[in-house]
Amino acid sequence: MIDINAILEQSPYSLSREEKGVLMNQVIRELTKYHAEHCEPYRKILQALNLDLNNLPYYTDLPFLPVRLFKEFDLVSVPRNEVVKTMTSSGTTGQAVSKIYLDRETSSLQTKVLAKIVSSFIGNQRVPMLILDSSEVIKNRAMFSARGAGILGFSGAASRSADILVWFHFYDLAAFLQAVKGTGFSSGSKQRIADTWRRLEEIDFGESKSGRV
């Protein structure tokens, strides 16, 4: 049985290639059996490929799933009433998007893993963070793209509420730069942001809007 908490206690990138291979093989085997048991479309795919669940090959030899399957089928391994979030791929208007369904436990594990990896780079302290994107990306907290999930995940490491700027609102940007003054946010970074802003000011984006995570 996979002990996720034991895995999370390890420092990221601390295992050797061989150790990671052994761990990955164990985890993927257990997950393959779990999804085959709880997701009928996935089970039918494995049966069509004559895959013996009691004698699974090394994880690198398991068959890959075409991405389009996640657009054409609902591959869900938990009861529908336990789905708390749906992550989608990006797609142009009118196109089908891939959908990944998360229950509360999986969503929580994603947050913990991201925090573990990010903290290995920046430490446990929160840092100033500026995110430039559309607030529409995170408008629906129950269904959002991988981009939106990244924004929400990284904003947890921010020392203040991360700014989501639609187009670019000068006063929000100026307030951010003032707020991080003397906090270690490099003067070079601030200067590059300011220089970029000056060039953007010359572009007519129409009505300016802003939002917050």
Let me know: does 85 contact 107? Beta carbons within 8 Å.
yes
**Per-residue model confidence (pLDDT) at position 29:** 94
Query: Helix, strand, or coil here: 68?
Result: coil
**Per-residue model confidence (pLDDT) at position 175:** 67
Q: Answer yes or no: is pLDDT of 130 > 80.
A: no
Q: Answer yes or no: is pLDDT of 211 > 50.
A: no
Reported confidence tier of residue 16, pLDDT bands at 50, 70, 90: very high
Q: Which pTM value belongs to this model? A: 0.69
Calculate the alpha carbon distances from 70 to 89, 101, 200 in Å: 10, 10, 38
Reported confidence tier of residue 17, pLDDT bands at 50, 70, 90: very high
Backbone φ, ψ for residue 208 (5° rounding): -90, 140
Let me know: does 70 contact 99? Beta carbons within 8 Å.
yes
Q: In whole angstroms, what is the distance from residue 88 CA to residue 59 CA?
A: 26
Summarize the confidence of residues 88-107 as an average pLDDT.
82
The helices-and-strands tally (H runs, E runs) of the chain is: 8, 6
Q: In whole angstroms, what is the distance from residue 110 CA to residue 153 CA?
A: 9
Calculate the alpha carbon distances from 14 to 30, 86, 111, 154 in Å: 23, 32, 20, 22
